[in-house]
């Protein structure tokens, strides 16, 4: 399999970034929901949020790499069978997924840095608190993070359903291309 995207399919790097981000998003969502139910005496009360923050910051780095990769190796064009409305919806949907990902991560960063303390990443390094002490920063960012996370997961689920619709109903190559097979 080629590393870069071609006119007919996605390359290895794009495929790994796509499915890796999907796995991280759904994993972080599940971890976040589970964390909300932890009580004060849970042994995971400190470790789960630290893990959530570390994975989230790694995901931020991966997303920055993913955006850069789209410039280095643009995605293949939509199949010719897609209408102009489908092409527009695809571009808008992907744009909203990217925007949602960055927005939920920024809100998470603002929750974690509200008290002016940086965020350790797996104990290897620390991301500094560049923004802190905004009025009700942790509470407001927490609400935004919660609702954006739900919106992102729902929208990502719809994205997956659209890919399945293209595969099973339209019988086009949309899903096949993201699985690394030639259209």
Q: Is residue 17 part of a domain?
A: yes
| Residue 22 in domain | yes
Give residue 180's pLDDT: 80
Q: Could you tell me if residue 26 is inside a domain?
A: yes
Query: What's the per-residue H, E or C state across 96-140?
Result: HHHHHHHHHHHHHHHHHCCCCCCEEECCCEEECCCCCCCCCHHHH
Domain count, the chain: 1
Virtual torsion, Cα 102, 25, 151, 95, nearest 10 deg? 50
Q: Which residues on adjacent β-strands are paired with residue 119?
A: 127
* Inside any domain, residue 5: no
Residue 126 domain flag: yes
pLDDT for residue 79: 86
Q: What is the pLDDT of residue 181?
A: 76
* 90 occurs within a structural domain: yes
**Virtual torsion, Cα 18, 28, 160, 82, nearest 10 deg:** -50
Query: Does 51 map to a domain?
Result: yes
Separation between Cα atoms, residue 145 and residue 1, nearest integer Å: 37
Which residue range is the domain that position 70 belongs to? Answer: 12-178
Q: Is 183 a member of any domain?
A: no
List the CATH number of the domain containing 82. 1.20.950
Segments of the chain scoring below 70 in pLDDT: 183
Length of the chain: 183
């Amino acid at each position: 399999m080629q590393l870069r995207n071609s006119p007919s399919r996605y390359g290895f790097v794009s495929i790994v970034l796509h499915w890796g981000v999907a796995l991280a998003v759904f994993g972080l969502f599940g971890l976040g929901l589970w964390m909300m139910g932890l009580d004060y005496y849970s042994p995971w009360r400190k470790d789960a949020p630290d893990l959530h923050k570390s994975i989230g910051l790694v995901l931020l780095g991966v997303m920055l790499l993913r955006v850069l990769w789209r410039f280095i190796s643009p995605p293949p064009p939509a199949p010719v069978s897609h209408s102009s409305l489908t092409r527009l919806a695809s571009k808008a949907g992907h744009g909203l997924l990217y925007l949602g990902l960055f927005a939920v991560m920024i809100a998470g960063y603002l929750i974690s840095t509200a008290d002016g303390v940086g965020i350790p990443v797996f104990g290897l390094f620390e991301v500094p608190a560049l923004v802190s002490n905004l009025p009700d920063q942790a509470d407001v960012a927490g609400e935004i993070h919660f609702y954006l996370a739900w919106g992102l997961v729902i929208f990502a689920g719809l994205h997956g359903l659209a890919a399945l619709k293209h595969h099973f109903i339209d019988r086009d190559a949309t899903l096949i291309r993201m699985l690394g097979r030639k259209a």
